[in-house]
Chain A
């Protein structure tokens, strides 16, 4: 592992070695440690089989599939409007964001464009899913190093956003609100002022989390210089989202390849960090939540009037063709490759979920780390099991 902050890494190893010296006479042999399938750090049922030499990991092999639901097969027997019900459940804490790239890909094939108001509301809900999703991460990241308070704060404050999502869509977690050609409904009355209040609360929440964790000795010791991902390795594994931006790669699909969403009409910034360690991933996400709250405020101010649904046929048949659309979801780049043969149902849908790629780096990344760091590294990569197993 090429550490960027070598000094921290060395002092950490030295401390570990000092502890180990007590046992220097004893003979050791390798040991296999099973982490999971049930572990709070895995957000579901991911099992990691780690081969250990003392406290050090020699090889780590994630075992997935405990939650594989076969969505790629199931989409082949669902009409296009029905598919959104399924894909809501891929990343279940930021559900609305899952629907967006699929609907955009279908719209691309149909050559339909949602009316401006629908695009803006889509972007609002998209960013609010991000806030709800990453708020959970920010609390959870504290939990991984033994700080319980941030988790309670996260669950408390995330509710403000979820309530607003529920007020529009009727569902806290599975909105199923996006439609080909627009949205199911318009915003309810009084929603805009209430949402602005919620965004303010989320900014306070970010400050609280920052105050609790950043600069905390234990948190810094457990995350700084741990789990360093160099940019080129990360790109080769297809890492995306905050995981790759924390390695210094200035790439965000919202800015660089906008498709159907209106991020480019807003004033915002893509945050990156050069360190590539667990702390950097935490920090980038923290900034992203702040940035998203600002985006939502701007979107609410500039919301155009008009219809929220374009004229689309009552029975939706998507013309034959292939389209791939990806968006910057809370967990990273999520894309749908749709192959249509002109039927009511897609012929093939390849779901490119962010966590699957993000977590595929773990066998490389966990090699050589110490057992307690497995948990912080997994926590900082932030995955949702539904997004891996699909």
Chain B
């Protein structure tokens, strides 16, 4: 088992070395979990070049998915992703920490697009991230390289408002055409949660082998 894992590590190390030598300065940051996964972050200008190199140069023929992340914490407090408990009628905005905290492979901007492609022959996958500056929410399209990126970019466009230059038809894919707003942005309120506070925080399931017998009846 250990030997097999070490071999996989070598494959990922090699892959990262190849990416580093080909992309040069365009490869901003990388994150490698041995025996598990690889993340790279590239410069916005090298987005398509990265895809081309991955597909033709390294054999990553399989397009897995493309999406985006909004790193700005939700301004709505506890009922969204934040654990800050905001009392009713309190001035909400002042309570919430709105500093950006990025995940693996780092980042500088609020929005990041990330995509995953696979080399199915060697069983490797790589997640490619790219920063999207706030003042210009656009990115070059991957559709020329991976045909499957078409619908994923449409989804990303309507959910985050990030447009893709050169995309053959950026239309709504799920939402009705007159829809306003970008629902997956963190500052887009989930109305149901705004109207009714989140009950989830107290709803902890009884685990098998748990010996506190009588729970104060929260299962109505």
> Residues of A with Cβ closer than 8 Å to B?
64-65, 68, 70, 72-74, 76-79, 81-82, 108, 179, 184-185, 232-233, 235-238, 249, 251, 256-257, 307-309, 312, 314-315, 320-324, 326, 333, 335, 337, 339, 341, 343-348, 350, 352, 356-357, 360-361, 364, 389
Contacts and interface: CB of A to CB of B under 8 A. Distances in A.
Contacts of B37: 323-324
Nearest to A389: B174
B150 A314 contact: no
Nearest to A77: B193
Interface in B24-54: 36-37, 39
25 contacts: A65-B175, A76-B80, A77-B79, A77-B190, A81-B205, A82-B200, A185-B208, A235-B63, A236-B147, A237-B148, A238-B62, A238-B64, A238-B146, A249-B120, A251-B120, A314-B204, A314-B210, A321-B103, A321-B104, A322-B104, A324-B37, A335-B65, A344-B201, A357-B63, A360-B150
Contacts of A237: 63, 147-148
Contact of B208 (A65, A82, A184, A389): A184
B147 A233 contact: yes
Given A81-B205, A309-B209, A352 B151 contact: no
Contacts of B172: 65
Contact of A65 (B83, B120, B173): B173
B183 interface: yes
- Interface residue tally on B, bucketed by range: 35 or more
B61 A235 contact: yes
A72 B83 contact: no
A236 B81 contact: no
B190 A73 contact: yes
Given A72-B184, A77-B193, A237-B147, A257 B173 contact: no
Contacts of A360: 148, 150-151
The interface centre, meaning the residue of A70, A73, A251 with most chain B CB atoms within 10 A of its CB, is A73
A315 B147 contact: no
Given A73-B184, A184-B208, A343 B81 contact: yes
Interface string B45-87: 0000000000000000111110101100010000111110000
Q: Is the interface of B mostly helix, strand, loop or mixed?
A: loop
A70 B70 CA distance: 16
Given A236-B146, A360-B148, A322 B175 contact: no
Contacts of A73: 183-184, 190
Contacts, number: 125
Nearest to B76: A77
Interface in B202-220: 203-205, 207-210
The 9 closest A-B pairs by CB, nearest first: A65-B174, A237-B148, A68-B174, A238-B148, A238-B63, A352-B65, A360-B151, A235-B61, A251-B120
Contacts of B200: 77-79, 82, 344-345
A276 to B, nearest CB: 16
Nearest to B82: A343
Nearest to B209: A309
Contacts of B39: 322
Contacts of A309: 207-209
The interface centre, meaning the residue of B37, B104, B147, B200 with most chain A CB atoms within 10 A of its CB, is B147
B63 A232 contact: no
Contact of B123 (A68, A257, A320): A257
Contacts of A321: 103-104
A364 B147 contact: yes
A178 to B, nearest CB: 13
The interface centre, meaning the residue of B79, B174, B183 with most chain A CB atoms within 10 A of its CB, is B174
Interface string B93-123: 0000000010110000000001010001001
Nearest to B169: A61
A308 B208 CA distance: 9
Contacts of A345: 81, 200
Contacts of B209: 307, 309
Given A344-B201, A357-B64, 17 more contacts: A68-B175, A73-B183, A77-B80, A77-B193, A79-B200, A232-B61, A238-B62, A238-B63, A238-B64, A256-B123, A257-B123, A337-B65, A337-B67, A337-B116, A360-B151, A364-B147, A389-B174
